[in-house]
Amino acid sequence: MKIALAQLNYHIGNFEYNTKKITDNILKAKAEGADLVVFAELAVCGYPPRDFLEFEEFIDLCEKSAQEIAVHCKGIACIIGLPVRNEVLAGKDLYNAAYFIEEGSVKSVVKKALLPTYDVFDEYRYFEPANQFKCITFMGRKIALTICEDLWNINNNPLYVSNPMDELIKQSPDIMINIAASPFSYCHDDERVIVLADNAKKYNLPLLYVNQVGAQTEIIFDGGSLAFDKYGNLLDEMAYFKEELKIYEIEGDTVIGYGNKSHQALPDIEQIYQALVLGIRDYFEKSGFKKAVLGLSGGIDSAVVCALACRALGPENVMAVLMPSKYSSDHSIKDALDLVESFGCKHEIIAIKEAADAFDSMMAPAFNGQPFNLTEENIQARCRGIVVMAMSNKFGYILLNTSNKSECAVGYGTLYGDMCGAIGVIGDVYKTQVYQLAHYINKDGIVIPENSIVKPPSAELRPGQKDSDSLPDYDTLDKILYQYIELKQSSSAIIAQGYDQALVRRIIKMVNTAEFKRYQTPPILRVSPKAFGMGRRMPIVGKYLS
């Protein structure tokens, strides 16, 4: 039996697009001799559809698409993921399900049992968990079909009290197939390989796993579909960050033509780079936009975002706006212009001194002689926000936010100023990782000016200003932030590792008191195990750890 895994990039709610992509790949797999072609979790509608699932028409369109797909399943079978209605009144109205389609009709419906409700997942909000399990029979073989999380209740600290495979194995299946929508983070591929290998080993069955690829707003899917033998040895690993169709031949309980291989994990920073380029590109393509605008300061954050945007969209579609203040240095303007020249993107220079001075004059009577402070700094930052948003409105550009995760964490940014934008490109990338990204982008030749990398970071909103005036050094700050945000360690646990007590408490207080700002920021491309946004839900007025 030849089984094709179709690792594709879907578009949420774009039924015509998704259906055509699926049917094209059915025909391609058939032409290449496949007996069965397997698509990802909720492939028909895209993942995650979120509250689209509450619309009756949305579910109707899923079913209509499935029936159109079935017409093409002549001489080849397919497995597709989609939401289906729960005909029982009690419980949630839908199942997260898969159709097994053969000779033009749906022969089996498999429903997902383990519904993740953590981090970016919220499936129990919509779906009823399955409580009945039956293998699919095809070409005289029994297939144990599961959906994503159904294979993740293994190893230490299981989240659920049962395993679908414990029931399916009683029916003596010949092979396991898992269809998934497994979001990217820079360490998730290693974990994924371990979990799936352990399933193959535990149940003594070969396993084929198909993931989707592409970005859906902030969530990025990296592909990396996998094949294992019954001993849990990794046999093959499909491409990361791009579409691919691949056929595997199964003979008995063996995947033919593959020897054992090791998981070829890319370095974290290369994975982050590829994910961000894909995230930018898909955000624009799936939203129907082409051109981006960003403020380019000459600093490393905006330089990296500009570089990523040029790689994702083409430099001809990127507008960099230089907005010097009266405190900006000449070298900042030169560094920004050097970057523009390196990439060949468009640029404008729009000084904000006149606007900031006008606001100062306008507010002077109300401020009644009080000294210059953060207020005037924020006015300058908001002037910059007005400029880039004006460019966005006038020319149809989409504004890219350039705040990094370290700044987002401690609130080192101005609401309605440098925190505005349609998508946060590096908001899940710590400052120390931004430096690594810059070096990676420069690996084949310097395109980000060296001075943007080596000079002390500064917002240039007052004379001689440096980030270090307000923040601890980024090496220390990022380590403490990682412990708190990604590892969810308390202040006492972090202090016990040897960090200064006053510093730890100050940083954690800054993180918690900045929560109100993060509620008002754009969606952030998720590349870490714990990103700001839909996967991290904290109260704004909570007292704990503040």
Rg (CA), the chain: 26
> Can you spell out the DSSP letters for 383-437?
HHHHHHHHHHHHH-PEEEE---HHHHHHT-S-TTTTT--SEESSTTS-HHHHHHH
- Does 102 belong to an annotated binding site? no
- Does 302 belong to an annotated binding site? yes
- Does 229 belong to an annotated binding site? no
Count Cβ atoms within 10 A of the Cβ of residue 262 and give its class: 0-12 exposed, 13-18 middle, 19 or more buried. Answer: exposed
- Does 99 belong to an annotated binding site? no
Catalytic residue among 30, 41, 78, 460: 41
- Does 296 belong to an annotated binding site? yes
- Does 432 belong to an annotated binding site? no
- Does 301 belong to an annotated binding site? yes
Distance between CA atoms of 248 and 227, rounded to whole angstroms? 8
Active site residue 112: yes
- Does 207 belong to an annotated binding site? no
In degrees and rounded to multiples of 5, residue 533 shows phi and psi of 130, -145
Distance between CA atoms of 442 and 449, rounded to whole angstroms? 9
- Does 332 belong to an annotated binding site? no
- Does 498 belong to an annotated binding site? no
Distance between CA atoms of 143 and 121, rounded to whole angstroms? 27
- Does 295 belong to an annotated binding site? yes
- Does 298 belong to an annotated binding site? yes
For residue 416, the one-letter residue type is Y
Across the strands, what pairs with 414? Answer: none
Distance between CA atoms of 44 and 55, rounded to whole angstroms? 15
Across the strands, what pairs with 6? Answer: 245
Count Cβ atoms within 10 A of the Cβ of residue 475 and give its class: 0-12 exposed, 13-18 middle, 19 or more buried. Answer: exposed
Active site residue 21: no
Contact 425, 309 (CB under 8 A): yes
Contact 352, 383 (CB under 8 A): yes
Catalytic residue among 21, 111, 112, 530: 112
Contact 448, 442 (CB under 8 A): yes
Contact 170, 155 (CB under 8 A): no
The angle that helices 300-313 and 268-287 make with each other, rounded to 10 degrees, is 60
In degrees and rounded to multiples of 5, residue 158 shows phi and psi of -60, 145
The CA angle 182-404-467, to the nearest 5 degrees, is 160
Contact 248, 2 (CB under 8 A): yes
- Does 13 belong to an annotated binding site? no
Contact 175, 145 (CB under 8 A): no
Distance between CA atoms of 319 and 296, rounded to whole angstroms? 9
Contact 376, 361 (CB under 8 A): no
Catalytic residue among 45, 73, 148, 383: 148
Judged by phi (left if over 0) then psi (alpha if -120 to 50, else beta), residue 104 lies in left
Contact 22, 226 (CB under 8 A): no
Distance between CA atoms of 195 and 191, rounded to whole angstroms? 6
- Does 413 belong to an annotated binding site? no
* Distance from the Cα of residue 353 to its chain's centroid: 38
Question: What residue numbers does the annotated binding site for L-glutamine cover?
Answer: 118, 182
Question: What residue numbers does the annotated binding site for ATP cover?
Answer: 295-302, 402
Question: What residue numbers does the annotated binding site cover?
Answer: 118, 182, 295-302, 378, 402, 407, 517
Question: What residue numbers does the annotated binding site for deamido-NAD(+) cover?
Answer: 378, 407, 517
Q: Which residues have a catalytic role annotated?
A: 41, 112, 148
